[in-house]
Every structure is written in C-alpha cells, then in structure tokens.
C-alpha cells in the first residue's frame, strides 16, 4: 500500500471516528519521516475576510476557508492548480501544488490568483507507523485511493466523500477484473 503525494485518505465508511466521518485528506507530501495532508471538506468556522483584515490585508475574494488539520493551525496554506507559483510552492502531483508564504498572500491581495484554489488553516500529519496502523489496523480509519481524479479534488464539499468512495471502489473493482 503505497502512500504518495497526490493520493487520498478517505474516512472509512464503518470505522472512522465520528469527528472524522466523511473527511477526505489530500496527501501533499509523504516521506520516510512523515506524511502530511489537507482535509478537503472540513469548512472552517473562521471568516477568511475577517482573518485577513486582522492582518491588515484587504481581501475581496469570495473563497471559503477550510481547516486542513490540527497541525500548525495558524498557517495559511493554499492547494491550487499548478500554473501559479509563489516563493514557497511545492508541486504535489501532475496538476496541483501547495503554497504557503507571505508572497502568496501579497499576490492574492493584488488579485493574482490561480485558476483553481482552496485555502486552508493547518494541516494533517502522521508519523509512518501511525498512519500505517490507521490504514491496516483491525478497525481501519482510512481507505487509500492512490490516483484520484482532478474532478474529485475540485468538486463541491458535500460531494467529495461520495465521489471518493465511488472512485476508490471502482479502482478496487478494476484490480480484480
């Protein structure tokens, strides 16, 4: 079971914790030391415009803010289409990248934004053995979907989990036939 950048963790339909029910995590980085990701469908209670205004930034965008996870909860991270870049941009897969730096915010303030993006505060993180246990334990918390479609990643929040389950199931079915 290869965990790689660009894959998804899908909350297990039976064994996921109640607070993680229907969460879908996009893996942004996976090394021997750790795995990091962003919860794609966990809308934050923080108002993005208010958060920017408190930092002295005028924000005219209409985007929602998502809680990417419990680690580094004050960091602003953007998952975005890969035609756009900033000082601290990391390519994740063939079509998406992540950015998190002051230049990113400055560019956004000037209206320079990617074709598609989602903004997050915080991220998810696991040590290697921890995530393996969550995937392979007696009551696995996650399903691993190795090659999600861009349509799934960019779909509406209320559809992401259902689409992820459907794609993951189809891939599993295709492996047997």
Name the residue ranges covered by the structural domains of the chain: 8-176
Q: Please, what sign has the CA dihedral across residues 62, 66, 72, 74?
A: positive
The string of pLDDT tens digits covering residues 146-175 is 999 999 999 999 999 999 999 988 877 666
Is 177's pLDDT higher than 90? no
Buried-state track 80-107, b at ≥16 Cβ within 10 A, e below 16 = bebebbbeebeebbeebbbbbbeebbeb
Strand, helix or coil for residue 120: strand
In angstroms, the Cα distances linking 14 to 42, 74, 114 are: 19, 32, 37
The string of pLDDT tens digits covering residues 37-67 is 999 999 998 888 877 777 777 777 778 899 9
pTM for this one? 0.91
Domain spanning 8-176, CATH class: alpha beta
């Amino acid at each position: 079971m290869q965990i790689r950048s660009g894959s998804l963790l899908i909350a297990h339909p039976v064994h996921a914790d109640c607070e993680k029910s229907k969460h879908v995590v996009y893996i942004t980085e996976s090394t021997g030391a750790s795995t990091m990701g962003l919860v794609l469908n966990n809308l934050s209670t923080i108002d993005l415009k208010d958060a920017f205004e408190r930092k002295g930034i005028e924000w005219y965008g209409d985007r929602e803010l998502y809680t990417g996870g419990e680690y580094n909860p004050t960091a602003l991270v953007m998952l975005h289409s890969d035609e756009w870049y900033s000082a601290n941009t990391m390519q994740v897969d063939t079509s998406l990248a992540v950015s998190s730096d002051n230049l990113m915010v400055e560019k956004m303030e000037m209206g320079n934004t990617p074709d598609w993006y989602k903004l997050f505060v915080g991220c998810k993180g696991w040590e290697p053995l921890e995530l393996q246990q969550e995937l392979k334990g007696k009551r696995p918390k996650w399903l691993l979907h190795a090659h999600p479609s861009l349509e799934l990643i960019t779909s509406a929040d209320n559809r992401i989990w259902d689409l992820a389950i459907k794609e993951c199931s189809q891939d599993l079915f295709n492996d047997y036939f």
